[in-house]
């Protein structure tokens, strides 16, 4: 949200999911109902693509969230390790993730 404010990007909504199970499609659909069909939705996570919550969401919804929105991920490249082990690399990747998340 800090990056959204800094970039003055009020055309981007951020929805935070606190609970994945039980996950009700109706709740997600209701949270997104104000947005027209075909509005792109991105799952953004700091973890590598093969870790964190993304594999669950990808398996559940594939390329379309609640059959209404194109659905994709913004995450670090798939990896055997959850972190690079380098602060410099971590911050560089973090900046790149934020840039990709806001790219239209």
CATH number for the domain formed by residue range(s) 2-102 = 3.40.50.11610
pLDDT digits (tens, 9 = 90+) for 67-78: 999 999 999 999
| 104: confidence class by pLDDT, cuts 50, 70, 90 | low
pLDDT value at position 81?
83
pLDDT value at position 18?
85
What are the residue ranges spanned by the domains of the chain?
A: 2-102
Tokens 């104000």 sit on residue: 34
pLDDT digits (tens, 9 = 90+) for 13-63: 888 888 888 888 999 999 999 999 999 999 999 999 999 999 999 999 999
Tokens 């934020």 sit on residue: 98
Query: 93 is written with which tokens?
Result: 């990747």
On the 0-12 / 13-18 / 19+ scale of CB atoms within 10 A, 75 is buried
């Amino acid at each position: 949200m800090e990056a959204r404010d800094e970039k003055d990007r009020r055309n981007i909504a951020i929805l935070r999911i606190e609970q994945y199970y039980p996950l009700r499609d109706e709740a997600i659909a209701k949270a997104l109902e104000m947005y027209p069909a075909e509005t792109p939705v991105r799952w953004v996570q700091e973890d590598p693509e093969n870790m964190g919550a993304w594999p669950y969401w990808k398996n559940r919804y594939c390329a379309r969230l609640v059959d209404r929105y194109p659905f994709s991920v913004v995450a670090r490249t798939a990896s055997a390790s959850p972190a690079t082990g380098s602060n410099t690399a971590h911050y560089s990747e973090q900046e790149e993730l934020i840039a990709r998340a806001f790219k239209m």
